[in-house]
Amino acid sequence: MTEEKKPAAAKKPAASPKAAAPKAAAPKAAAPAPKKDAAKPAKSGKKLKVTQIGSTIARIPKQEATLIGLGLNKRHRSKVLEDTPSVRGMIEAVKHLVIVEEAA
């Protein structure tokens, strides 16, 4: 009763045909209507001139990052931005460091 030893690679079972076959795509339902992109600002034409008057020295990093997001990084520099809710929120976070005016 002599048993032959098979190499380790020969012990692996053959891949099943189910695993090798690509999965069939499920039938798609009717595509929903495309949604409007909420990130795009409404083109109302309103502009804000934001001028940095305070330094970022001794401020929390979030405030410094907000000023950089507004395009400001040094005192007495100005940037004209669109009047959107996201810009208004950023200005509110650093209102003690900036002056806001309506741009013409």
pTM score? 0.57
Note the pLDDT of residue 45: 79
Task: Please report whether residue 61 resides in a domain.
Answer: yes
Domain assignment present for 7: no
Dump pLDDT digits (tens) for 77-90. 999 999 999 999 99
Strands 78-82 and 98-102: unpaired
| pLDDT tens track for 51-68 | 999 999 999 999 999 999
pLDDT at position 25 is 65
Q: Which domain CATH number covers 84?
A: 3.30.1390.20
State the total domains in the chain: 1
Reduced to 3 states, what is the DSSP secondary structure of residue 67? helix
Q: Is residue 73 part of a domain?
A: yes
What is the 8-class DSSP label of residue 83? Answer: -
The band of 92, judged by pLDDT with boundaries at 50, 70 and 90, is very high
Q: Which residues contact 64 (CB under 8 A, 6 or more apart)?
A: 56
Range of the domain at 56: 47-102
Q: Is residue 86 part of a domain?
A: yes
CB-CB contact of 102 with 51 (8 Å): no
What is the mean predicted confidence (pLDDT) over 78-103? 96
State pLDDT tens for residues 6-37.
666 656 566 665 555 566 666 666 666 666 65
87 DSSP assignment: H
